[in-house]
Amino acid sequence: MRASVAAVAVGVLVACSLAGCSSPTEVGDLSWGDCGSDVPAPADATVSHACGELVVPRDWARPDDGRTFTLRLLRVRSSEQHDRIGSLLINPGGPGGSGIDIAAGVSSGQSFASEELLERFDVIGLDLRGTGRSEPITCITDAQLDRESALVADPIERVDVDARLALQKEIAADCAKTYGEDLKLFSTRQIARDLDALRAALGEAKLSYLGVSYGTYLGAVYAQLFPDNVRAMVLDGAIDPTVGYGTVAAQESQVRGYEHAFDEFAAWCERSDCPLSPDPRTQVTAILEQAGTSPAAATDGREATPSVVLSAIAGGLRAPQWQAMAEALDDVRDGDPSAVFQWADVIAERDTTGHYGPFYRAQRATLCADTGDRPSPERVLEIQREWRGRHPLSGGVLAMGLLACASWPAPADTAPATPPTGLPPTLVIGSRHDPATPYADTAKLAAFLGDGNVVTWEGQGHVALGRSLCVTEVANAYLTDLTLPEKGLVCAADE
């Protein structure tokens, strides 16, 4: 954001425990300014962008200690707006995704939120604390992220396990030096209070919210803290709030999702013009083994390790762009890793200069702040063996991800998940074959929220909004008119 954007002074802040206070958060007025070159101009001449700043307490449990975060946000408004409802806050998940960037894409069709929503709402994209333009996490270096990518993805030898442990301890020590116990302040519970401060600053009595992926978990936490402050909530790509985010159970749920999605890809590959047929699973397993023993080198010297190849597979399953993914895997088998690195670098937000965006740094900070379920390295190795047997493609690799928080130097900021009372009906959307947020969690989130209405999309890829016209129309109808679909609505994959 540019300096011309005025910071917002926080007024009377609620001094109460994060555990149980649901009273409104009082803040000063939001000030808006020109975005300058920081945000691309809208493609539609009838749409305008305004950038703002909101100052919030660094720790909502101690709002009067004088320490703050400055949060940046974007407002997207149409001059053709009519029958205005108010503001709609959208969150792209992650955690670590930029709300500003996803809101900037609304008017050009580059967002999960449809352009039609601008007819009734100002669309608001907020970069959460520690992400994007809102004081992003800085304690993890580009070199450390490159080293992490080069590690043995599913190590068997103890020397490779120790190398991963050493890097995680190094990162933890660097973050402790930079932030100390403030690392716990990047939790979803703190972020949810930021959302309520923003709601109040926008002058909205009730929150209208559209969240995908991790944004569904953020929505569920907000609903627990502020059920009376919700007008409408649409959640796509559910995370089960009773399991939490970043726990062992949550990680295995995601492993199951990726294995199922890969089976769907493999079935498609067998019946299509796919370079990995016949028997795609066996061929991909061989490609991963080759990447472990003799990885193909890119022109910049990086090697396409199994971690890189699996990142490309994850990207292809989430997109979903199966043909392009299959061709990239075929290329790396033949010694050309360029397409695999393109996939992996997009997932990691790594640019051509070797600089990583804030996504993974913010994701790790919130992941570790949200979970007290931090198994010891010895237990992680047991889980690795168990998951490798149950989920042969990605189980061992994602088990190693549990080490990211094993040495984290700050306590978690958690509370038992308690179903909200007084919450209005919500809309919970699930994609039948979602790799990252498995469909089974859709009904669990809906049940937790009490009156969650489930909409199922029979398609592939991560989240349905922006992919299914049927789902988009249902979501828009609920957000604008509070009209709920018929119970158990199923949208076909080709809609």
Residue 213 appears among annotated catalytic residues:
yes
- 3-state SS string over 109-162? CCCCCCHHHHHCEEEEEECCCCCCCCCCCCCCCHHHHHHHHHCCCCCCCHHHHH
Active-site option among 101, 194, 434, 441: 434
CA 254-179-222 angle, to 5 degrees, is 50
Query: Could you say which DSSP state residue 487 is in?
Result: T
Active-site option among 49, 391, 433, 462: 462
Phi-psi region of 461 (alpha: psi -120 to 50; beta: other; left: phi over 0): left
**Rounded CA gap, 221 and 193, in Å?**
10
Cis peptide before 278 (omega within 30 of 0): yes
Residues 6+ apart with CB under 8 A from 215: 90, 91, 92, 93, 235, 237
CA 162 to chain centroid, in Å, comes to: 29
Active-site option among 107, 213, 307, 431: 213
**Rounded CA gap, 214 and 192, in Å?**
12
Element (H, E) at 439: none
Closest CA to 102 of 195, 1, 212: 212
Residue 23 appears among annotated catalytic residues:
no
Residue 462 appears among annotated catalytic residues:
yes
- Catalytic residue numbers read 213, 434, 462
